């Protein structure tokens, strides 16, 4: 093809047809430019296709990760609700109506339901972290999804701070139980231990804990902070995850 164009140029020059040669030269330049533009367009198309391929793979990984995190979060919410209900039972045992009839075993059961489980939402963020650190978030075409993914880790950090507050109140209450209660008696009542050992503490009753205003205050603070964790942190995050999953699903349908 190159030899063909060269022969045309040589023939035009030899025939002294300058005007036709110039016209031909311009046409040849136009063809070269068009060829370059086509090549660039093909290259750009290939790059776009590669970007969409990476975006799809990332979205599939995020979809799996956020689906798992939603399941884990729902389990944590239910666990926290159990703690809150246990705390309410324990708080009610401080009432004047309950003090005369409540048993050590009941106090032990309520305390176990209240403090037996530590709440801790530990989401998997491997895929999201990789996308953010590699700069591949820019490949996500949906701007709303991009924004929510970029801000997700900051929401987790706030939840960790709130969980620390719940943990502190929980440990204050547990330490009060240890310092002023009869843990061996509680464990026997709960069936964790089979029998008492022969000590002078055997008759020390755990129901006497319901006479402590300090213990009541600690349980109330623990329950209140647990409630706040569900209402202002866990439940809004669950909705946020659902929105993210919907956005991911919609974007995958477009690809």
Burial of 37 (0-12, 13-18, 19+ CB in 10 A): exposed
- Residue 205 CA to residue 213 CA, distance in Å, equals 17
CB count in 10 Å sphere of residue 225: 18
- Return the minimum-mean-pLDDT range out of 8-22, 103-117, 191-205: 8-22
pLDDT in tens, 102-135: 999 999 999 999 998 999 999 999 999 999 999 9
- Residue 174 CA to residue 189 CA, distance in Å, equals 17
Which one is predicted more confidently, 231 or 207?
231
Domain region containing 233: 2-254
Radius of gyration of the chain (CA): 35
CB count in 10 Å sphere of residue 239: 9
pLDDT in tens, 146-179: 999 999 999 999 999 999 999 999 999 999 999 9
Can you tell me the mean pLDDT for 22-29? 60
pLDDT, residue 23, reads 55
Total domains in the fold of the chain: 1
- Residue 246 CA to residue 144 CA, distance in Å, equals 11
CB count in 10 Å sphere of residue 71: 11
pLDDT in tens, 59-82: 999 999 999 999 999 999 999 999
Can you tell me the mean pLDDT for 55-62? 95
pLDDT in tens, 91-104: 999 998 887 889 99
pLDDT, residue 12, reads 47
Which one is predicted more confidently, 166 or 52?
166
Can you tell me the mean pLDDT for 36-61? 81
Which one is predicted more confidently, 184 or 44?
184
CB count in 10 Å sphere of residue 231: 10
* Percent of the chain whose predicted confidence (pLDDT) is above 70: 84
Flag whether pLDDT at 252 surpasses 50: yes
Which one is predicted more confidently, 197 or 149?
149
pLDDT, residue 209, reads 92
The whole-chain average pLDDT of the chain stands at: 87
Handedness of CA 12, 14, 18, 22 (dihedral sign): positive
């Amino acid at each position: 093809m190159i030899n063909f164009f060269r022969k045309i140029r040589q023939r035009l020059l030899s025939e002294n047809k300058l005007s036709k040669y110039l016209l031909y030269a311009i046409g040849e330049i136009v063809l070269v430019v068009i060829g370059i533009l086509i090549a660039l367009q093909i290259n750009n198309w290939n790059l776009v296709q590669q970007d969409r391929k990476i975006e799809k793979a990332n979205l599939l990984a995020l979809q799996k990760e956020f689906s798992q995190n939603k399941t884990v979060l729902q389990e944590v919410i239910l666990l926290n609700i159990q703690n809150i209900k246990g705390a309410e039972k324990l708080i009610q045992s401080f009432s004047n109506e309950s003090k005369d009839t409540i048993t050590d075993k009941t106090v032990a059961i309520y305390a176990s339901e209240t403090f037996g489980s530590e709440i801790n939402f530990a989401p998997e963020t491997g895929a999201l972290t990789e996308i953010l650190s590699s700069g591949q978030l820019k490949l996500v075409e949906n701007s709303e999804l991009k924004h929510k993914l970029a801000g997700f880790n900051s929401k987790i950090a706030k939840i960790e701070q709130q969980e620390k507050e719940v943990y502190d109140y929980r440990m204050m209450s547990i330490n009060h139980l240890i310092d002023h209660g009869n843990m061996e008696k509680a464990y026997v009542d709960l069936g964790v231990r089979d029998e008492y050992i022969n000590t002078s503490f055997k008759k020390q009753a755990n129901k006497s804990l319901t006479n402590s205003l300090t213990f009541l205050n600690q349980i109330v603070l623990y329950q209140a902070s647990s409630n706040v964790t569900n209402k202002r942190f866990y439940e809004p995050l669950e909705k946020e995850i659902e929105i993210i999953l919907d956005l991911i699903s919609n974007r995958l349908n477009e690809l």
